[in-house]
Structures are given as C-alpha cells and as structure tokens.
Chain A
Amino acid sequence: EDQVTQSPEALRLQEGESSSLNCSYTVSGLRGLFWYRQDPGKGPEFLFTLYSAGEEKEKERLKATLTKKESFLHITAPKPEDSATYLCAVQAANQAGTALIFGKGTTLSVSS
C-alpha cells in the first residue's frame, strides 16, 4: 500500500536554529514527491517537486532533498514567518492523473 509518513509531528525552533523535517514514503514507483506549506485556515501552498534520487531544490531558507526512500526539508536559520504546517505528498508512477498521497504533516513553530 502506498504510504507517506512525516516526522516529527511538531517541531519548535528558536529563530536562527536550523533543522530538518523528514518524509518517508513507500510507493509503487515514484512519479514525483511534493512539498507544500499550509498556514492555518488556508489551502496548501506549493513549494517543491522532486523527481529522482539525488535531486535537490532550494527556495529562500528551504532546501528539499530526495533519496529512494525519503525526502528531507532542511530549514536554515528559520524566522517566525516560517511557522506553518509542512506537508509531503507522493504521486505514483502508474499514471499522471493519479491523486497525491499525503502525509499528516509537520507543524513548525519558530519563536523569536
């Protein structure tokens, strides 16, 4: 069964304290792995898509990496405005229209 597990469930950081969020997945052939950010009361906001092991993508203080079994979202020198829930999702390789399979998310709180 295709599955996505995110850890930790919640993470508290001080401003400037770098850390990583983990997304472990099992899928019958990976078409793509997606990271989204979700603020309270809003829909998920797209961050990154990764397609193959070894791929990395960066945006401001965020860097996403991918291996054959997991993905990491590295947050460097976070700021309070980075506080949000970060969602990881995978799409199986069988067809392009396949719905995303989401993890439950990691809720990040950054205090100043």
Chain B
Amino acid sequence: GAGVSQSPSNKVTEKGKDVELRCDPISGHTALYWYRQSLGQGLEFLIYFQGNSAPDKSGLPSDRFSAERTGGSVSTLTIQRTQQEDSAVYLCATKPSYSTDTQYFGPGTRLTVL
C-alpha cells in the first residue's frame, strides 16, 4: 500500500515568512509524529498526535511552531516568522496505533530559509 507522503519535497523561503508543511499518513494509522533533522544532528522530536487525544507538544522549540491534524488524518506543521536556524529536513512518521511500536517515515520536506 501507499506509504507516508509529505509535501512539498523542497521549500525555499525568506526569513520572516510563514510556511506550511503537509503530511499524509498511511491509511488507518492513528499515531503521527513530526521530527526535525538538522545538518549533523540526530532526528529531533517535535510533536505527537494520537487519535482524538490532545497532542504532545513537548518537543516544539518555540511558539512559532504549531501543528494540526484534521479528522485524524492529514497533518500540517506551520512555522511562523521563519528564521535561518529553522532550515532542516522535516520528517513525518506514523504508526498503526498507540500500542504498536514501529514508526514509518515519509520522505521529508527540506526547508531552506534564506
């Protein structure tokens, strides 16, 4: 079946602009994670959605970052007033349910802030 998809694959923006990154999970997967992968760094957790529960936002680095998940499916990560240090690859991962362990990753969105 289809895997996790993300769009756009690449995004170049100017400092101070807002950006939206989209994640389409594997059909039926109720758990969804956003991670950030900066050059030379490991993947860094940003936010976690599970079904209709309140999201775990503990990894968001600042209040410029927010995310939504509509209808328990598609998720959008929004970065307001982008800064150069926001440049990174943003990865989405999903898994079938809360109790399963393996997360399946999308191809990522490469964000470049000029």
Chain A: interface secondary structure? strand
Report A34-59 CB contacts with B as 1/0, cut-off 8 Å. 10100001111110010000000000
Whether the Cβ atoms of B101 and A96 lie closer than 8 Å is: yes
**Total number of B residues with any Cβ neighbor in A under 8 Å:** 28
Tell yes or no: A25 within 8 A of B by CB: no
Tell yes or no: A72 within 8 A of B by CB: no
Whether the Cβ atoms of B105 and A43 lie closer than 8 Å is: yes
Whether the Cβ atoms of B50 and A97 lie closer than 8 Å is: yes
Which residues in A have their C-beta under 8 angstroms from that of B106? 43
Chain A interface extent, by class: 20 to 34
Tell yes or no: A13 within 8 A of B by CB: no
Cross-chain pairs A/B with CB under 8 angstroms, 30 sampled = A4-B42, A31-B101, A32-B101, A34-B101, A34-B102, A41-B107, A43-B6, A43-B91, A43-B105, A43-B107, A43-B108, A45-B105, A46-B102, A46-B103, A49-B102, A87-B42, A89-B43, A96-B98, A96-B101, A97-B31, A97-B56, A99-B45, A99-B56, A99-B59, A100-B33, A100-B43, A100-B45, A102-B42, A102-B43, A102-B44
Contacts beyond the supplied A44-B91, A100-B33: 14 A-B pairs with Cβ under 8 Å: A34-B101, A42-B108, A43-B106, A43-B108, A49-B102, A89-B43, A97-B98, A99-B33, A99-B48, A100-B43, A100-B45, A102-B42, A102-B44, A104-B41
List 7 tightest A-B contacts by C-beta distance, closest first: A99-B45, A43-B105, A102-B42, A102-B43, A104-B42, A44-B105, A43-B107
